[in-house]
């Protein structure tokens, strides 16, 4: 009996020493301790660790698959919301009060001193892709060391494509906000800022920039004054379509003022990059509508001038409605802009991978924008 206890004691001592000397080895298989980003998983990572929601969410939030120039330039400020019901204040100038803003059937507009509060439901963009069991098995055929790396590449490709779709939609909504209405891909209005005619002028007759009698510089200075009289501005930028830029390049009045440096601008940039105290960017970007027809994100004949300041615009985003999301609705935790998860299915056997986001670009001071049609479409 004494010998039995002595042997047991030796084994217990050896086991305790092993834990003390090699804790990382014994605990390496714990899912909660898995690394949270693709680069940190390494070759030694397991396929199961790759599919953790935290890993997928961290990875998709680091991706930048498409250029979202208008979103980054004008709506670069991000504001996290606590629920799927967005509410934000819009400021109006002392000259007039904004009309009620139609956001949806359930929208409410509440008057406040010098402001109006707008509420609407956050849009939801979610997409999922299926990875079959056969695909997973084929990756394991390359060996246990290679399988995690192959799976990371496959997941990254799927997430990249899904994030690209969401980012393109975010850019689409940002540009639509500059036109006075935020709409979804079907054309349904999410937010209507009810721009007055002064904020959406259509040049006609000799005022069109394609007419030799027109004066774009005078127009731009007038539009800047309209914005500057109503909102605070740090700088002015303009986003325009290709026909608007063509009209500006060929306009005699603009070229006369730029005759000493227009050549350099055109040679270096292929466009007029700065005029009348306003940086001008010719926008290239398209999307395919529901019918599969390619459309310009900025209409060719539009010149949109924006007064940029820290409190004029932002992109709101809501927590996703998903029980698996650490920062989901009702969890009381900080949400990420994007959420991603994976789950197994029985038939067809395999895994789904999902990417979801609930963003909305908004104007806190809608009078910071003027959207002009400067020539024929």
User: How far is Cα 173 from Cα 163, in angstroms, rounded to an integer?
Assistant: 15
User: How far is Cα 240 from Cα 233, in angstroms, rounded to an integer?
Assistant: 20
Provide Rg for the chain, Cα atoms: 28
What does DSSP assign to residue 336?
Answer: P
The predicted pLDDT at position 279 comes to 93
| Structural domains for the chain | 36-192+318-362 (3.15.30), 198-312+366-373 (3.30.1930.10)
The predicted pLDDT at position 140 comes to 66
Place of tokens 């932002």: 314
Phi, psi of 6 (to 5 degrees): -65, -45
Burial 292-316 (b: 16+ CB within 10 A, else e): eeeebbbbbbbbbbbbbeeebbbbb
Measured in residues, the chain has a length of 377
**E strand map for 61-135:** 78-80, 85-91, 109-112, 115-121, 125-132
The predicted pLDDT at position 146 comes to 61
Give pLDDT < 70 ranges for the chain. Answer: 1-47, 91-115, 136, 139-148, 260-270, 329-332
The token pair that represents 295 in the structure block: 């459309």
Instruction: Please tell me the pTM assigned to this model.
Output: 0.78
User: How far is Cα 39 from Cα 37, in angstroms, rounded to an integer?
Assistant: 6
The predicted pLDDT at position 217 comes to 94
CB 338 within 8 A of CB 61: yes
The predicted pLDDT at position 154 comes to 86
> How many other C-beta atoms are found inside a 10 Å radius of the C-beta of residue 368?
26
User: How far is Cα 326 from Cα 28, in angstroms, rounded to an integer?
Assistant: 23
């Amino acid at each position: 009996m004494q010998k039995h206890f002595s042997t047991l004691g030796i084994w217990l001592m050896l086991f305790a020493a092993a834990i003390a000397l090699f804790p990382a080895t014994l605990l390496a298989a714990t899912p909660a301790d898995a690394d949270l980003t693709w680069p940190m998983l390494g070759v030694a990572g397991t396929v199961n660790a790759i599919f953790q929601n935290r890993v997928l969410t961290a990875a998709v939030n680091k991706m930048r698959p498409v250029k979202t120039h208008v979103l980054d330039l004008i709506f670069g400020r991000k504001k996290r919301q606590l629920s799927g019901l967005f509410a934000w204040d819009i400021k109006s100038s002392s000259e007039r009060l904004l009309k009620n803003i139609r956001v949806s059937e359930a929208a409410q507009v509440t008057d406040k001193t010098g402001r109006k509060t707008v509420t609407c439901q956050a849009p939801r963009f979610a997409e999922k892709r299926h990875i079959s069991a056969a695909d997973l098995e084929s990756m394991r055929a390359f060996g246990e060391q290679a399988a995690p790396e192959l799976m990371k590449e496959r997941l990254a490709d799927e997430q990249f494509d899904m994030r690209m779709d969401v980012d393109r939609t975010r850019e689409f909504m940002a540009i639509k906000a500059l036109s006075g209405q935020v709409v979804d891909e079907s054309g349904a209005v999410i937010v209507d800022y009810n721009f007055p005619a002064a904020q959406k002028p259509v040049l006609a007759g000799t005022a069109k920039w394609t007419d030799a009698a027109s004066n774009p510089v005078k127009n731009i200075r007038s539009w800047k004054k309209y914005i500057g009289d109503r909102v605070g501005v740090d700088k002015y930028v303009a986003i325009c379509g290709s026909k608007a830029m063509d009209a500006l390049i060929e306009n005699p009045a603009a070229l006369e003022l730029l005759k000493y440096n227009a050549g350099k601008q055109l040679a270096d940039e292929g466009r007029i990059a700065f005029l009348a105290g306003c940086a001008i960017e010719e926008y290239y970007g398209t999307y395919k509508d529901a019918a599969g027809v390619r459309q310009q994100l900025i209409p060719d004949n539009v010149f949109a001038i924006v007064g940029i300041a820290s409190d004029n615009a932002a992109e709101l985003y809501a927590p996703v409605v998903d029980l698996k999301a650490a920062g989901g609705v009702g969890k009381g935790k900080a949400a990420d802009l994007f959420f991603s998860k994976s789950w197994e299915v029985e038939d067809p056997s395999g895994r789904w991978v999902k990417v979801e986001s609930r963003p909305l670009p908004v104007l806190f001071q809608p009078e910071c924008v003027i959207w002009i049609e400067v020539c024929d479409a």
